[in-house]
A and B are shown apart, each in its own frame.
Chain A
Amino acid sequence: MSVAAKFVDAAGDVLRRTRLIPRVWIACICAGAFIVLLPLSFPLDGKPHGDWLQFLGRFHPLLVHLPIGLIVLLPLLEFAGTRRQSLREAAGFVLLIALATCVLSITFGLLLAYGSGEIGNTVTRHMRGGIALAIELLLCLAVRRSYAAGEQSRSYYILLTTVLITLAWTAHQGGSLARGSDYLTRYMPPRLKRLIAPSAVSSHPNSFFARHIYPVLDTKCVACHGTNKEQGGLRLDSYESLMEGGKDGIVIVPRHPDGSLLLKKVTLPPNDPHFMPAEGRTPLTPEEIARIHAWVLQGASPDATSVPGIFIAEDHEEAPPPVGDYTAFMGEIRQMQQSQGAKLVPVSANPADGLILRTTDAAATFDDAQLAKFQHFAPFIVEAELGRTAVTDVGVETLSQFRNLRALHLEGTAVIGRSLAKLSSLSQLTYLNLSGTKVTSDAVARLKRAPNLRHLYLFNTPADPASTADSGVRSTQ
């Protein structure tokens, strides 16, 4: 007997065992072939095609929820069917309808993608997911016959599980297409977010681009100009791709906002056919446009941290946590105020704003030992004015215990920076002035940035290479 005959025999055996009528198989294979061949007949080439295709295609989101609902219903019916026969019988019908609507959805989906000329990884993944789902459903249909007869239950269950997983994955791709890939993660608590996806927006997470330009592009543009779709061959999901431009050339011309295509498109009248974002998506706000404009004017730098003329409150007004209520110590504080020497001064009438440690009256005699005496006020002190005092590195160590400290003036002191590293623990510290001290760049490097330190002044120190130049300001960002 030839190998072929053996194979046919074996196949026939399988067919008999699964009690399949060959006609069903033929139908299944035909349906499968249709689905697989469908994308080949409508290759996604990134060009928009006939309007009527798009018109029909736009019913895809409407249709697509029908098979989803039915597919989810299927396992429920099957499991409930172990108790009640009628439900199991219904499951077969539901499977059939699910398959039919699934194929219909795929067809409309393809019309949509082909008609509108959408391409991109997510589009492809979504399409492949849909086709895989349809084929799995076909297999389900094929296997279910023997399952209903009480055989092959395991393979049917495995198939069902695969169907559900494929469904979830495909649906997620579809959701990403419609709502943007970060739809789910946008309002995720930051800690959870970091856990899931460490941000890779830019090598300069604190740059103006990363903080104020990228988020605008991400919410308003990337849905069509990103990994999902690449309309006009333009991607706006990273600094590099933004500067690279698209089919129509570069879209950002540094220092020339008026010559930048991107700014032109977003500032057209909203009814202009070239207005962006297209398709009635949310336009950019005047504020967002102003930010981009100023950023381009400034040179469209990837790492500049601020742009003149543009002020963004959250950059500056991080509301620090309120400090505890110091009013219980008011007697002691008043006594200090009435005498000469170091004193504690409320920042404002609101006790939650904390206290300032002020030493200007007695700067010359204020030393580490005196500083240590203020330790029991430490939780309330938000600013320490220790400029030109006799405080040394020992004092800096004491200061690292002042956990609510936001501003620390150490200009003109004898600090050489041995214990600067300890200040890294001050999570609220935004301002540190070391001007006129003997701190070296090594010592400053050891100051592993306190997380919020924005303004570090090293004027007239060995750590400041430009100490003789006009600008001695070092901003950490």
Chain B
Amino acid sequence: MKQHPLCTDCEDKITPMDLPIPVGLKNEWSVCESRRQFFGRFGKVLGWASLATLFGEANLRHLAFASGASSQAGFGVNNLGLPHFAPKAKRAIYLFMSGAPPQVDLFDYKPNLAVQFDKDMPASVRGNQQLTGMTAGQARFPIAPAHWPFNQYGQTGTWMSDLLPYTARMVDDLTFIKSTNTDAINHEPAIMLINTGNMNAGKPCLGAWLAYGLGSMNDNLPTFVVLQTKTNPKENNQPVSSRLWSSGFLSSEFSGVGLRSAGDPVLYLQDPAGVDRDTRRKMLDAVEAINRQTLAEVGDPETNSRIAQYEMAFRMQSSVPDLTDLSKEPESTWDLYGPEAKEPGTFAYNCLLARRMAERGVRFTQIYKRGWDVHDNVVGNLPVLCHETDRGGYALVTDLKRRGLLDDTLVIWAGEFGRTVYSQGGLSQENYGRDHHPRCFTTWMAGAGVRPGVTYGETDDYSYNVVKDPVHVRDFNATILHCLGIDHDKFTYEFQGLNQKLTSPVPARVVQGILA
């Protein structure tokens, strides 16, 4: 038979059976190839579909509550059966140093570097480390020792730069991790990685996971609050965005609630003139009724979050003014936090607010302080940055401790990566710059769940490579979850066919060496 000119089939009929493809695919083809088979399968699928519709609702409901029903202790909004085990910490406060503080100048004391001033960084130490575009073109990598002297503090004799006189006072209460390391060398991927466990946006952050897993301790305040510190325009402020406190694929009610650093902490919280509390309540009831109707029709879970958020906002109308009213703070508070704490938006003010939220049952507070990205003028900028943050962090830990809150609160201090020991740009006796460095940086924790007075991990003589007990940021997050009673491997959420978790997908471990 003559082939039709438009027919693309080969005349000699090459079938998929003749193609060099895996046998499995050929078998699949042979099952589907005939019209008879097509109709047969079509009928069955139709049958299953109709059956699913008939039993569907009951079936779906069963699935939705399966996890809660199987675990008798399931509780909280999500019936997840969390915490997995009795937690040491009920809540956490995360002081996030965005921009990456230079560990060499603050914590990681390297006395041998002083004599190597302006010497070239040995290539063997640098190894195959990728460099940023900012220093990749540099002809040489001159070593820049820390500009400030170090001293030993506390009964543990922990070395600390003179730049952090307040932190130095509490070294015995802190757990230092000198071997924290990350995968990314630029801010955005690195800050996403440490916050969400993934360099790409779209994953829930630590706070959202905690809000989802552990739920609220006070229905009148958000479970997860983000406080931003006022930026200092003289500093090199890297942007932080709401991606960092996003709930990702979790319901948006678990994302961080930002309190504004200036003016009203929450906008439009006051009822407009002439609207009293009852009127507001009636209006919200009406809105809720409409929302419920939409939910029943469309079934979008986001409608549920919206209802919850309206209710939360209503309750926050009374709880937030109480939270931010510092007039009843005793004089000892101001002695501890310093006069800066009276000015909304400062780091010290945010630390004080974090303590007040801890008292009121906020599960997770994250304070962002930007400006640590000291590519140049370290000598000029670093003292300012330390001055802005040192006292607040000290005051927070000390205040929590004296009020008995540190027994069930975990305080975390971290940036997204470290900085290089070699100078970016010109090195002089007076000044130098430091580039991004992912291989090691220093972080600390304090409080419930971790061992006080411990320094974990070691770096080499150049604070460049980890030589002992590396802690990847995934391990770091796994450890935080552990302190809050969560097994990071079991705490998953099914999304895109994967059991997603904060530390996924690369295996992570809990750092046993720093646990209490």
Residues on A facing B (Cβ under 8 Å) = 297-299, 307-311, 316, 327, 330, 333-334, 337, 340, 345-351, 353, 358, 360-361, 387-388, 407, 409, 411, 431, 433, 435-436, 455, 457, 459-460, 467-473
Contact = CB atoms under 8 A, between A and B. Distances in A.
Nearest to B217: A360
Given A311-B454, A358-B217, A468-B332, A346 B73 contact: yes
B154 A337 contact: no
Interface string B122-146: 0000000000000000000000000
A344 to B, nearest CB: 9
Report the 8 A-B pairs with minimum CB-CB distance, sorted nearest first.
A457-B404, A308-B453, A472-B402, A360-B361, A308-B172, A433-B404, A309-B453, A360-B218
Contacts of B398: 470-471
B264 interface: no
A454 to B, nearest CB: 10
B485 A348 contact: yes
B220 A361 contact: yes
Q: Which residue, of A334, A349, A351, A433, has the highest number of chain B Cβ atoms within 10 A? A: A349
| Chain B contact residues: helix, strand, loop or mixed | loop
B281 interface: no
A361 B223 CA distance: 12
Given A309-B156, A360-B361, A468-B331, A459 B83 contact: no
Interface string B67-79: 0000111111000
A137 B452 CA distance: 64
Contacts of A457: 402-404
Contact of A411 (B172, B403, B451): B403
Contacts of B287: none
Contact of A350 (B73, B359, B361, B407): B73
Interface in B44-95: 71-76, 81-87
A298 B155 contact: yes
Interface of B: 71-76, 81-87, 154-157, 172, 217-220, 330-332, 335-336, 359-361, 398, 401-404, 407-408, 451-454, 485, 516
Given A348-B87, A455-B404, A459-B403, A470 B73 contact: no
B516 A316 contact: yes
Contacts, number: 115
A255 to B, nearest CB: 9
Contacts of B454: 309, 311
A433 B436 CA distance: 44
A387 B408 CA distance: 14
Contacts of B155: 297-299, 307-309
Contact of A330 (B72, B331, B408): B72
A347 B89 CA distance: 11
Given A309-B155, A361-B218, A473-B402, A349 B332 contact: no
A212 to B, nearest CB: 15
A383 B82 CA distance: 17
Given A308-B453, A435-B404, 5 more contacts: A311-B516, A348-B82, A350-B85, A350-B86, A431-B404
Q: Which residue, of B336, B402, B453, has the highest number of chain A Cβ atoms within 10 A? A: B402
Given A309-B454, A361-B219, A349 B404 contact: no
Given A309-B155, A472-B402, A473-B401, A334 B453 contact: no
A457 B516 CA distance: 21
A459 B404 contact: yes
A388 B218 CA distance: 13
A431 B73 contact: no
Q: Which residue, of B82, B335, B453, has the highest number of chain A Cβ atoms within 10 A? A: B453
Nearest to B68: A334
A337 B73 contact: no
A234 B195 CA distance: 57
Nearest to B218: A360
A351 B76 contact: no
B403 A471 contact: no
A340 B220 CA distance: 9
Nearest to A431: B407
Contacts of A472: 332, 402-403
A215 to B, nearest CB: 21
21 contacts: A307-B155, A308-B155, A308-B156, A309-B156, A327-B72, A327-B73, A347-B86, A348-B82, A349-B81, A349-B85, A358-B217, A358-B361, A360-B361, A361-B220, A409-B404, A433-B403, A435-B404, A459-B404, A468-B331, A471-B401, A472-B402
A82 to B, nearest CB: 68
B198 to A, nearest CB: 27
Contacts of A360: 217-218, 360-361
A349 B73 contact: yes
A348 B73 contact: yes
B285 to A, nearest CB: 15
A411 B408 CA distance: 14
A333 B73 CA distance: 10
A467 to B, nearest CB: 7
Contact of B71 (A297, A349, A353): A349
A411 B516 CA distance: 25
A345 B75 contact: yes
Contacts of B330: 460
Contacts of A470: 335-336, 398, 402
Contacts of B75: 333-334, 337, 345-346
B373 to A, nearest CB: 32
B73 A351 contact: yes
Nearest to A387: B359
B359 to A, nearest CB: 7
Nearest to A325: B72
Contacts of A469: 332
A459 B139 CA distance: 58
A311 B219 contact: no
A333 B452 CA distance: 36
A333 to B, nearest CB: 8
Contact of B403 (A297, A327, A349, A435): A435
A323 to B, nearest CB: 11
B445 to A, nearest CB: 14
Contacts of A349: 71, 73-74, 81-85
Contacts of A468: 331-332, 335
A435 B398 CA distance: 14
Contacts of A299: 155
B404 A411 contact: yes
Contacts of A471: 398, 401-402
Contacts of A361: 218-220, 361
A199 B427 CA distance: 65
Nearest to B83: A348
A348 B351 CA distance: 29
Contacts of B86: 347-348, 350, 353
B73 A460 contact: no
A358 B404 CA distance: 17
A156 to B, nearest CB: 67
Contacts of B73: 327, 346, 348-351
Nearest to A307: B155
A348 B404 contact: no
Contacts of B335: 468, 470
Contacts of A340: 219
A115 B359 CA distance: 69
Contacts of A337: 75-76
A25 B31 CA distance: 116
Q: Which residue, of B155, B217, B336, B485, has the highest number of chain A Cβ atoms within 10 A? A: B155
